[in-house]
A and B are shown apart, each in its own frame.
Chain A
C-alpha cells in the first residue's frame, strides 16, 4: 500500500468517527426536546448518559488527528482538513454538553405541568440539530455553500430565541408563580441558541478546510 493510501485510510477513519459523533449529537438534541415535551424521564436520562459517549468520541478523534499530525506531517489541504477536524470536535463536544444540560433541566422539571406550549423551543431544536448535521456534512462533502449557509440558519435560531424570551417575560409578568419554570425554559432556549453558535464555528472551520480562509480572519 502506498504511503498516500495509508494516509487516506487514516483520514477516512477521522471522517467516519466525526459522522458517528455528529449523528449521536443530533439524536441527543432531538430526543432531549422530545423528552422535555413528553415529560419522558427515561429518555432524558438516556440523553444525559449519551454525553459520556460524545466525550469519548472527542478524545478518540483528537488522538487520531494528533497522531496524523505527528506521523504524517500533512501539508496544504491535508493539513487544513486535519486541523479543522481538531477544532470542530471541540465545538461538537460543547454541543453535547449543552444537550446534556437540557436533559438535566428536563429531569428537574419532571412531571410538573408546563406553563406554556413549547412550539418555539421545538423549532429552535430542529434548527440546531440540522445545523450540526449540515456543519459535519459540509466538512465531509467539502460543500462550501452549505458551510456558509449556517450563518443564515443561525439568524432563525436567534430570532426564535428572542421570541421565546419575550413570551417568558410576559408569563412571569402575568403570574410570578411562573417564574421558576420560565427561567428553566429560558436556560433551555439559551443552550439551543449556543448550539447554533457552535455550529456556526464549525461552519467557519469547514470554510477554512476548503478555502484556507477563516471567517475569524476578518476581525
Chain B
C-alpha cells in the first residue's frame, strides 16, 4: 500500500522562549494539493511551515507541543529520523541559496548523501530533477559551471531541482518568488502547478494574486492563529471572517 502524505496538525503550539508564536493551530492539508499560507509579516506562517520538517529544532529555546502527523507518523515522536523526514519533506526558501559548487554537484548532493554512488544513476537523477524544474534546457551544456553564476530565477529553479532530487513527497516553499521578476515567477508558478500531481505543496506567499493563481486552499494567519482556512476561491470571493476580508482587501487599522 502506498504511504500517504497528507498533513494533519492538532493543537500545535510553538514558543520561542517566552514568546508564544503559534497558538493552538489545527489544520488538515490534503495530498496533491497546493495550500497557500497568507498573512502579515510576523504572523507565524513561516514558523508554521518550518514545523513540517522540524527546521525549528535548530533554533535555541524553541518549544513545540501538539501533534503533527504526516501520513500516519507523528513527526515529533522521539524515534523519528530527522534526516529521513527532511528527505521526504523538502524545502525551498525565499532567497535562492545554491551551494557554492557546480550545478551538477548541487543536484547530486542529496542523492550522494543518501548513498547513490554510481555515476550513471546520479546523471539520471540530475537530468530528471532539472527537467522537472523546467531548467534542463538552459543548463544542460554547463552542468560543471558554478551555480552561483546563474540568474536569480535560474538559481531558484535550481534550488527546486535540488529539493526534488531527494525525491521528497512534500514540498514546502517559503515565498519562493518574492525575489524574482514576473517571467521567472511565471515559470516557477507553472512548475509548482505541474508538481502538485506528485507532491503535496505548501507555499507561504505575500502575493495575493499568486495565492489565487496557484493554490487550491488558503489559510489566513494573524498573530499566531489561523483565522480562516478554506478553498482559495472562497477566501478571496467571500471570506467568512472580517479580519480576513480586511487583510486581503488592504484595509488596515
Q: Which residues of A contact B (CB under 8 A)?
A: 3-4, 7, 73-80, 211-212
Q: Is the CB of B249 within 8 A of A212?
A: no
Does B250 lie within 8 Å of A76, measured CB to CB? no
B208 with A76: CB separation less than 8 A: no
Establish whether residues B250 and A77, one from each chain, have CB atoms under 8 Å apart when the complex forms. no
Q: Which residues of A contact B99 (CB under 8 A)?
A: none
Query: A79 contacts B236, CB within 8 Å?
Result: yes
Are A73 and B209 neighbours in the complex by a CB distance under 8 Å? Answer: yes
Of B146-154, B171-179, B181-189, B237-245, the one touching chain A: B237-245
Contact of B237 among A3, A73, A79 (CB under 8 A): A79
Closest 3 CB pairs of A and B: A212-B238, A76-B245, A75-B236
CB-CB under 8 A from B17, the residues of chain A are none
- Given A212-B237, A212-B238: A76 touches B209 (CB 8 Å cut-off): no
Q: Would A3 and B250 count as touching, CB distance under 8 A? A: yes
Considering only residues 229-253 of chain B, those with a C-beta below 8 Å from chain A are 236-239, 244-245, 248-252
Q: Count CB-based A-B contacts (< 8 Å).
A: 32
A interface: dominant SS: helix
Q: Which of B212, B238, B248 contacts A80 (CB 8 A)?
A: B238
Q: How far is the CA of A78 from the CA of B249 in the complex (A)?
A: 7
Q: What count of chain B residues pass the 8 Å CB interface test? A: 14
Inter-chain contact B237/A74, CB cutoff 8 Å = no
User: Inside 8 A of B244's CB, which chain A residues have their CB?
Assistant: 76
Task: Give the residues in chain A near B249, CB-CB below 8 Å.
Answer: 74-78
**Chain A residue contacts of B239, Cβ below 8 A:** 76
- Give A3 to B209 CA distance when docked, in angstroms: 17
Residues of B within 8 A of A212 (CB): 237-238
**Residue of chain A at shortest CB distance from B236:** A75
- Whole-angstrom distance from the CB of B182 to the nearest CB of chain A? 14
Which residues does chain A contribute within 8 Å of B248, judged by CB atoms?
75-76
Cα–Cα, bound, A212→B208 (Å)? 19
Contact A4:B251 (CB < 8 A) given known A76-B236, A77-B245, A80-B238: yes
Q: Which residues of the partner chain B approach A80 to less than 8 Å between Cβ atoms? A: 237-238
Could you list some 25 contacts between A and B, CB below 8 A? A3-B250, A4-B251, A4-B252, A7-B250, A73-B208, A74-B249, A75-B208, A75-B236, A75-B248, A75-B249, A76-B236, A76-B238, A76-B239, A76-B244, A76-B245, A76-B249, A77-B245, A77-B249, A79-B236, A79-B237, A80-B237, A80-B238, A211-B238, A212-B237, A212-B238
Contact partners of A77 in chain B: CB under 8 A:
245, 249
B240's closest neighbor in chain A, by CB?
A212
Interface hub of A73, A76, A211 (most chain B Cβ within 10 A):
A76
User: Complex Cα distance A210/B153, Å?
Assistant: 42
Q: Which residue of B lies closest to A212 (CB)?
A: B238
Could you tell me the distance in whole angstroms from the C-beta of B231 to the nearest C-beta in chain A?
A: 13
Complex: A7 Cα to B251 Cα, angstroms: 11
Which of the listed residues B208, B209, B250 has the most CB atoms from chain A within 10 Å of its own CB?
B250
Q: Within the assembled complex, what's the spacing in Å between the Cα atoms of A75 and B218? A: 14
Which single residue of chain B is at the shortest CB-CB distance from A213? Answer: B238
**Given A73-B208, A76-B245, A77-B245, are A4 and B250 also a contact pair (CB < 8 Å)?**
yes
Contacts of B237 in A (CB 8 A): 75-76, 79-80, 212
| Identity of the chain A residue whose Cβ is nearest the Cβ of B252 in the assembled complex | A4
Q: How many angstroms between the C-alpha atoms of A13 and B250 in the bound complex?
A: 19
1/0 per position for B181-199, CB-CB distance to A under 8 A? Answer: 0000000000000000000
Which residues of A are found within 8 Å of B238, using beta-carbon distances?
A: 76, 80, 211-212
Q: Distance in Å from the Cβ of A141 to the closest Cβ of chain B?
A: 19
The docked-state distance in angstroms from the alpha carbon of A79 to that of B237 is 7
Closest CB-CB distance, A210 to chain B, in whole Å? 10
Q: Which of B203-219 contact A (CB under 8 A)?
A: 208-209, 212
Q: Looking across the interface, which residue of chain B has its beta carbon closest to that of A76? A: B245
How far in angstroms is the closest Cβ of chain B from A49?
40
Q: Which residues of B contact A73 (CB under 8 A)?
A: 208-209
Q: Give chain A nearest CB distance to B251 CB in angstroms.
A: 6
Considering the chains assembled together, what is the distance between the CA atoms of A78 and B237 in angstroms? Answer: 9
